Every structure is written in structure tokens, then in C-alpha cells.
Structure 1
Amino acid sequence: MTFGGGGHTKAILNLVPEVTVLALDRDPTAISLAQQLAKEYCGRVKPLLGKFSDLEALLSNMDIKPGSVDAVLLDAGCSSMQMDEAERGFSLSKDGPLDMRMDGERYPDMPCAADVVNTLDQQALASILTAYGEERQARKIASAIVEARRVNPITRTQQLASVVAGSFPPAVLYARKDRLQRSAHVATKTFQALRIFVNDELNELHTGLRAARSLLAPGGRLCVITFHSLEDRLVKRYLQGEDLSNLDHFSPRKQGNGKPKLVDENRDRRDVYWLPLQRKVITPERYDVNENPRGRSAKLRAALRC
């Protein structure tokens, strides 16, 4: 969860000769790669086309029962394969249609990023940028988008990047820094927010975590890789036992008097589902980042199913 380009799956197959990998991805392009890999490894890969929220139904159709899976690797977010293809509309550095749908081929009527920026009102746009991009200048950017679309619809990635850039003074266009202290475009958070919103990524992540809990056998391992603070915050709270069903889980918790309790100390121990495998989140070493700069923001959390 998800298969992506198959890098993790190949590593698992080569490390554990007897393993069978159930490879889930919502992107038909990724599933075609999984199907090729299944041929190379004599059926040890079972491609599954669908979202995290489809997983339990897909496995039920394969007669795979709850509590029978040994391990789950959940790799959240957008894949490099999707980012590198300009026509998918994920990258602000490459001009393409403002799409951002991970499975637009399957659901052609599903709203794309262009539909969002051209139809929602200014307040709704600002809310999306704040919630999913943690963008401090959300109101300013939303205002610029609304003004620009009155002249021409915003349909291209470079067009949107220019609109966002136009709402900032030229001196701060690349003033933001990433984790490698490299200049980051001011529209980066806007693109992230739209992508997460269009693909309903945080709700899918939450659903995927719950599916993992149901499917894993006692003692089974869950490993989750996230790439931004919204995802990691959700995973951290979930593994600590917090009920996220009615929680505004994508925004920082409002601090009251003293540190909030994440878990009820008097809760029945039967409700404790996870035993953390390490005290702190695992982040890439310097050599990892040098080898794969896109992994610079990755965070790994791992736990045993109790």
C-alpha cells in the first residue's frame, strides 16, 4: 500500500523468498507494472487495483480473512512516477494540464484540480490551502486565484504556479527553503494542498490504517512511510490509540492548559492495538538523502499488532 514503481516490493521479494506480496495501487499505470512483476516472480505478486478504502473488499473477494496478513507496508502520498509525468499535473516545475488525480482514468467524472481552483469560492479555497498545505498566506493566494480566473480559467500547472507567484513580491518567490535548504517555489504548498484534497488522501490514509489493523495477524508488523507533517501527525495519533473518527486530524491540536492526553489512561487494555517498535520516528540519514533527495522528508513509523 501502495505499489508505486515497485521498488519496495522488489526488495521484499528478494529478501524473503517464500513471501507473497499483495500489491495495492489506485493508479492503473502502477498496476500494469505490478502485473509485469507478477510474471517475473511467478505469481508471488498479486496486483490489486483500488484505493486504501477498497482494500478489505478486494481481499475478501480473494478469500483472505481478517487477521491473516503477516505485514503491511503503507507508503503514503504521491509517487515519483506520478510527479515525473507532466501530463498528470502533479509537478509545478513541468507544464501540464492541472489534473492531479491519481486514478483519473478510472473515474473521469471525478473533479480534478482545475475544477477546484475554477469553481470553489475564495473562502473554500483558502480553507483547503490552510488545512492541507498549512499555507500561512492562504487568503492572499486564494484571492489571487479568484482574480485570475475572472480573466481566464486556470487549466495548466505553470499557469497556476504563475498566479500564486504573482501574489508575492519577486524577492520572496524562492525565499522558502526545503529540508536540504534548497530554494522552494512559493506555490509548493498550494500544489500539495490541492493534490491532497482532490485525492482525499488523508481520509484514505486513515482508512488504510484501520484496514491494516483488521487484516494483520497478532504480532504482524505495520510500517508506515509518510512525506509531510499532516500524514505523520495522523499516523502518530492513530498508533497512540487516539480515536480519529470525529477528529480534525489534519490540523495541529489546539493547545489548552497543559499537554493534552492522547490516550485515556483508564481505557480497557483490550483497546490497545499497537506496540511501537521504536521510541522515535525514523528519518533518512544524510547518505540516504544524497542518494534519493525526494526522500528527504520521509518519516517511518513501525508497530506490532497486539
Structure 2
Amino acid sequence: MSCRQPEQITAADVLAHIDENSLYKVLKFYGEEKNARLLSRGLVESRHMFQRLDTTRGLATLVSSLLDDTTRTDKLGRHAHPATKTFQALRILVNNELNELDYAMRLAQYYLRPQGVLVAISFHSLEDTIVKRHLQGVDMDHTPATIGLGVAKHRTALSTYTKAEIDSITAKAWKQLTKHVVLPSDEEVASNPRARSAKLRPALRL
């Protein structure tokens, strides 16, 4: 579940050492798991009853037994394994996926030439939120409110931004090429089930 680098923490390491409350937050935020509290408690308690969880099969079996639920469905009504969201949460954590995606979007904005096209495909809502934020120009590091707070000590209450500053703050880097996010068709999902949760957003570099 990791894009392994030397000395990188693994999902097995996380499960062997993380405390219950921290694991709850990981499962709740990264996995969007509604049973995060139940699972975090059960996974931590399992350390005293089982061997170290170091295989995907072992983790999947334990999560299934904790939930006692083998009939989960995804948003499209398709069968989903009870451990799917747990694996998602751990994968996002150990691979630092959300920060990597945020960095990738910044690099795309920097390196892509004007009129170049970016096509971003995400597979869950956390990823899509990051992509959408960048394409809409919603970056908390560069919004007028944040900039205003950052330079407040250097300005009086009556001071104003110059035209160049305003243009820099409000300039958009992307033009979205579709009005709405593009979702896979029923035919595509039928031929490629892994596409069922995909969201595609194309944009033009300005």
C-alpha cells in the first residue's frame, strides 16, 4: 500500500504503533469511514490478541470481522469490500498522497506553458477537492484575506493595494474546459469497474 522509499513508514508500522485516537482521525478523514471509532478501537486492541498485521489479507479479514458486514456498496450501488476505506486511509497516510497531489498541481501551474492543457483524474472526494481548489484559484496562501493579514503590520487602516498587487492576487491560472466534472459513463464502468469513482477535470493554462 505504499510507494516505497528507503526508510519510509509502512501501513504495518502505523498499525503497530499508532494510538487509538490518531487512528480514528486517519480513518475518519482520509478514509471517510463512518465506523472509524469502532475500527480504530478494534485495530488497536487486536495488537494484544493477534500477531503483527503485516499482510493485506490479515487486515482485510480483521476489518471484516470487526464490522460484521460483507454487503457494503459504493455510491453506485456496487459491491465494495468492508475494508476498502481502511486501505484507502492507510494508503493516503503512508504515501503522503494529498500533499503530493497539492505539490503536483503547483508544479503543473509553474511548468505548463500558456494554452497548455491539464487533465486531472481523481478517485475520491479528498483528491477532487484539492484539484478543484487549484483550478478555481482558491489557494489560501495567496488569497486577499491571507495577504492582508500577512502585511497588516506594514500598512495603515487607510492604505490600499496597488493595481499590480490586485492583478497579481486576482489573476486566474486556469480556465476549466468543462462546466461540470466529467464522470465515467455506465458503459465505461461496466468495462472498467475501477473507473467507477473517477472524476476528470480538464483545464487550460492561462
Which bracket does the TM-score occupy, shorter chain normalised?
Answer: 0.7 to 0.9
Structure with more relative contact order (C-alpha pairs < 8 Å, separation 6 or more): 2
Deviation at 1:164, TM superposition (A): 1.4
Q: Which structure 2 residues correspond to residues 60-71 of structure 1 after superposition, within 5 A?
A: none
2:37 pairs with 1:139? yes
User: What runs of 5+ residues in structure 1 fail to find an aligned partner?
Assistant: 1-99, 247-266
Describe the shift of the 1:244–1:128 C-alpha distance in structure 2 as closer, same or farther (beyond 3 A): farther
2:185 pairs with 1:285? yes
Describe the shift of the 1:216–1:233 C-alpha distance in structure 2 as closer, same or farther (beyond 3 A): same
Do the aligned residues in 2 keep the contact of 1:121 with 1:146 (CA within 8 Å)? yes
Which amino acid counterpart does residue 196 of structure 2 have in structure 1?
R
User: What runs of 5+ residues in structure 2 fail to find an aligned partner?
Assistant: 143-164
Work out the CA distance in 2 between the residues paired with 1:299 and 1:281: 6
Do the aligned residues in 2 keep the contact of 1:238 with 1:244 (CA within 8 Å)? no
Compare CA radii of gyration and give the structure with the larger one. Answer: 2
Describe the shift of the 1:245–1:133 C-alpha distance in structure 2 as closer, same or farther (beyond 3 A): farther
2:140 pairs with 1:239? no
The corresponding residue for 2:121 is 225
The CA RMSD measured in Å over matched residues stands at 1.9
Which amino acid counterpart does residue 180 of structure 2 have in structure 1?
K
Do the aligned residues in 1 keep the contact of 2:11 with 2:94 (CA within 8 Å)? yes
Work out the CA distance in 1 between the residues paired with 2:140 and 2:53: 35
The corresponding residue for 2:77 is 181
Structure holding more strand per residue? 1
- Deviations along 1:143-173, one digit per CA (max 9) or x if unpaired, are 11111112221111111112212222x3xx1
What SS does the aligned partner of 2:197 have?
coil
Work out the CA distance in 1 between the residues paired with 2:106 and 2:176: 16
- Deviations along 1:32-90, one digit per CA (max 9) or x if unpaired, are xxxxxxxxxxxxxxxxxxxxxxxxxxxxxxxxxxxxxxxxxxxxxxxxxxxxxxxxxxx
Do the aligned residues in 1 keep the contact of 2:64 with 2:70 (CA within 8 Å)? no
What SS does the aligned partner of 1:222 have?
strand
Q: Which structure 2 residues correspond to residues 147-226 of structure 1 after superposition, within 5 A?
A: 147-151=45-49, 152-168=51-67, 170=68, 173-226=69-122
Deviation at 1:245, TM superposition (A): 4.8
Q: How many residues align?
A: 182
Work out the CA distance in 1 between the residues paired with 2:15 and 2:32: 17
Deviation at 1:174, TM superposition (A): 2.3
* TM-score, with structure 1 as normaliser: 0.56
* TM-score, with structure 2 as normaliser: 0.83
What SS does the aligned partner of 1:109 have?
coil
Work out the CA distance in 2 between the residues paired with 1:268 and 1:240: 17
Q: Which structure 2 residues correspond to residues 97-108 of structure 1 after superposition, within 5 A?
A: 100-102=1-3, 104=4, 107-108=5-6
